[in-house]
Amino acid sequence: MPNKSGELRKVYATTLRKTLPTEMINLLQGRVSQDVFLRFYYKPILQRVKNKVFRGLKPLQNELLQLLS
């Protein structure tokens, strides 16, 4: 069985782009650059980020649940 984790990662990031800035998606997926902006100025409040992530993933969750039923 082929590994589809790369595809799932793309779907996850694409879904989150509707609600989160690219910098936050890169942070969540472990792609944190040494950019000055990210290192020194981008300091999101994690509770807000968590809430935005869960809200952003709700449509994907609903779509996956429909496929499984």
Work out whether the CA dihedral 12, 14, 19, 20 comes out positive or negative: positive
Mean pLDDT of 6-34: 83
Domain boundaries, the chain: 9-68
| pLDDT digit string, tens, across residues 24-47 | 888 788 887 666 776 777 777 778
| pLDDT digit string, tens, across residues 47-65 | 888 888 899 899 888 888 8
Q: According to the model, what pLDDT value does residue 38 have?
A: 67
Q: Distances in Å between the alpha carbon of 66 and those of 10, 29, 62? A: 20, 26, 6
C-beta of residue 32 within 8 angstroms of C-beta of residue 38: yes
